[in-house]
Amino acid sequence: SSSFDVSNWSRLASLWPLLYGTSCCFIEFASLIGSRFDFDRYGLVPRSSPRQADLIVTAGTITMKMAPSLVRLYEQMPEPKYVIAMGACTITGGMFSTDSYSTVRGVDKLIPVDIHLPGCPPKPEAIIDAVTKLRKKIAQESFEERTFRPTRTKYPNLSSPHRFVSIVNTKKYKKKLETQ
Amino acid sequence: MGPHHPSMHGVLRLVVVPQGENVIDCKPILGYLHRGMEKIAENRTIVQYLPYVTRWDYLATMFTEAVTVNAPEKLANIQIPERASYIRIIMLELSRVASHLLWLGPFLADIGAQTPFFYIFREREMIYDLFEAATGMRMMHNYFRIGGVAADLPYGWVDKCLDFCQYCLPKIYEYERLITRNPIFLKRVKGVGFISRQEAINWGLSGPCLRASGVQWDLRKIDHYECYDKIDWQIKWQTEGDSLARYLVRIDEMKESINIIQQALKLLPGGPYENLEGRRIAQEKGRMNWNSFNYQFVGKKSSPTIKLPRQEHYVRVEAPKGELGVFLIGDDSVFPWRFKIRPPGFANLQILPQLLKGMKLADIMTILGSIDIIMGEVDR
């Protein structure tokens, strides 16, 4: 056994997922919290804040409007973090990949994904299987790999044509809110 | 309050203008789950579109299928056999119980009581098992067809369903004992989010929000659809119009749904479960040999595609959230010309800013929970 085993074990035995769900896959994710498919036995305690979570299970369709929020949530999570892309909608766009004009075809266009979990929606047993596979993947990690893979950096374009609108609502919110 | 929040109400963004702890104004921003369902419908036949419709309201999936299938049936005037009608009623009412159960969990979790969330999943898993035995999927069953249902109930399903009803009714009373007289719950919920009777009608609300304000409006009694007239049941309603009244209406509706299921199971007749495929096979008897060499290993026969006549029509069902309607304009082809969905959550959400004016910040989640919206259908 290597010296990384203890650190890997401490991470995989207590993956804390973010309570995140857009659409129908979230209901299957929530029934994991229930008592029939208990995911506390794997150490998964659902957290509400991304600052306290280290696993995000993207449950539900990601639309273009929701994509910046998802990326921001991912960036707010502290390292080391893992992503399970749950459901067909997050892998390739799923049933909306042909004719929808607003769905993002696959969440790996936005954030790096560790495990892709097919199903529409995947049964809770399948989600547990995905968590098991993620644990096996974490068990094989080592420090060299982690320092080699750089964290994401965003380089916003300074000369973009978009107009900067303040997020803070002033008293004139009735007029300005539509331009946000 | 951004599109991701710890409650399970879906991706709704509320821009709230507070003054200390009071809420001055609130603006809900939708569209975080808009997937273009209505546009997709214009390129799918009805049978191809059925998997999409369960993704509108993913808690009460049978209702979305029922309205999608009722639209061409009424447009082309197709009758369904009586057994199919009773099976549909049983499935719809089971779906209503499931939807109200999953409303109850997050509603109480927002107020602060985390345990009912686990209790409801116990019952909901049993309903899922019943659905899985009959339709093959826990949640997104592709079960309803034009002309009936896709497959008959398996052997022993009726007995299992009766067992479930006998088990579930005392559990609903248990929820009442735990929750309804709890003083913390009453203080959070009584008098919060009051909608008067006239306002409820003016805003176009439907479902439990309307019935809690004193309007006895239930589409199952008004439209006389399926075989609801042959079953003895009452509309449940309250007069107060606050969140407590909406909660009581939903609890009573659950009990009434169990009652309807039990009666429908006893009245279930024999006979065919589906009309169109049987008719097609009877008409094409000479030409189609489903038992011949070429087809003998084909497990699934393709459903007949129906050509929608060039007419327009609005059908509606009493979904657990309200009036779910579909306005269908046919174009004398297999694809509809326009498939407009009237979701109950979209209409019921309009009243949220008015209800929140003058309330405290903590009441936002109570009121939002009591209106019972689901973003899959609000955004489509």
Each residue's pLDDT tens digit, B244-270 = 999 999 999 999 999 999 999 988 888
Instruction: Report CB contact under 8 Å: A101, B36.
Output: yes
The per-residue pLDDT for range A126-162, each reduced to its tens digit, is 999 999 998 888 887 766 666 555 555 554 555 555 5
B89/B258 Cα distance (integer angstroms): 11
The two three-digit tokens of residue B155, written as one number: 């052997």
Mean pLDDT along residues A68-96: 88
A97 touches chain B (CB under 8 A): no
Nearest CA-CA partner of B344 in B306, B310, B316: B316
pLDDT of residue A146: 61
Query: Does the complex come out with an ipTM higher than 0.90?
Result: no
pLDDT of residue A138: 84
Instruction: Report CB contact under 8 Å: A173, B17.
Output: yes
Asked which of A52-66, A126-140, A149-163, B366-380 is least confident by mean pLDDT, the reply is A149-163
Model pTM? 0.85
Instruction: Report CB contact under 8 Å: A34, B125.
Output: yes
A45 touches chain B (CB under 8 A): no
Residue among B25, B35, B104 with most chain A CBs within 10 A, to mutate: B35
